[in-house]
Amino acid sequence: MEDVLDIYAQPLNEEVPVVCFDESPFQLLEEVRPPKATKAGAARKQDHEYKRNGVVDVMMICQPAAGLRKCLVTDTRKKEDFAQVCLYIEALFPQADKIKLVCDNLNTHTKGAFYKAFDPGTARRLAVKFEFHYTPKHGSWLNIAELEFAVLGKTVFKKRIPDKAQLQIELDAICAERNADGTPVKWLFTTEKARKKMHSGYDALI
C-alpha cells in the first residue's frame, strides 16, 4: 500500500508518468422498441424489454497528475488484451523513459503477457519500460482508475448501448469532456495518514 501511496505523492513528470489501469465488464443492451420522444426536462420513456448482445471489457487508463483518461473496449480480458493496452499506453507517452503502472495483481497483469502477445524484441522493450505497482489484495480502492469507473457508472454505464463501436464512441466523448478540464486528481490519503488510521491489520496491506 505504501508503495502506491508514495508514487501518488510524486509531482507530475512526463518522463516518468504515473498511470493507473483497471478494467470492468459491460453488458451490451439493444432496445427492442425505440424510446419515445419526450419534452425537455421530462424523463426518458424507455421500454423495460431489451436484447442482450453479449459482454465486453472496458479498459480504463488514467494519469491522475495530469487529469488525463482514456478508455479502450476489448472483447476479452486476456493477457494479450492487457499487453495491447500497455502498448497503447507506451504510445500515449512517447517521451517517457519509464512508466509506473498502478494496477491490481490479476494474473494477466504481468510482464509475461508481453511475451505472449509480441515478438521478443517488443516484449523486452515493454518489460524494461513498465514498472508495475500492485495494489494490495484487499485494497483495489487504492487504484485511482476506480474513481474514473465511478464516473462512468453515473454516465455511460447507465445507458443501453447495443454494440462495441457505439460504446467506444460514448466513452471517447466522456473522456474528451473530462480531459478538456485537465484537472488533476487530488489524492489526499497519504502514507502518513494510512499509518495513523489503519494500524490494525496494517501488515496485511503494506
pLDDT single digits (tens) 72-114: 999 999 999 999 999 999 999 999 999 999 999 999 999 999 9
Q: Is the pTM of this model over 0.85?
A: yes
Three cell numbers, residue 66: 495530469
Cα(206)–Cα(203) distance, integer angstroms = 6
| Beta strand ranges found along the chain (DSSP E) | 18-31, 50-63, 68-74, 99-103, 130-134
Contact present, 20 and 145 (Cβ < 8 Å): yes
Residue 206 confidence (pLDDT): 60
**Average pLDDT rounded to a whole number, residues 178-205:** 84
pLDDT category of residue 50 using cuts at 50, 70 and 90: confident
Cα(87)–Cα(173) distance, integer angstroms = 22
pLDDT over 80 at 201, yes or no: no
Contact present, 152 and 61 (Cβ < 8 Å): no
pLDDT category of residue 45 using cuts at 50, 70 and 90: low
Residue 44 confidence (pLDDT): 65
What is the average pLDDT value for the chain, to the nearest integer? 92
Cα(159)–Cα(16) distance, integer angstroms = 36
Structural domain spans, the chain: 2-33+47-204
CB atoms closer than 10 angstroms to residue 194: 19
pLDDT category of residue 25 using cuts at 50, 70 and 90: very high
Residue 37 confidence (pLDDT): 67
Q: What is the CATH number of domain 2-33+47-204?
A: 3.30.420.10
Q: Which residues share a beta bridge with 26?
A: 56
pLDDT category of residue 139 using cuts at 50, 70 and 90: confident
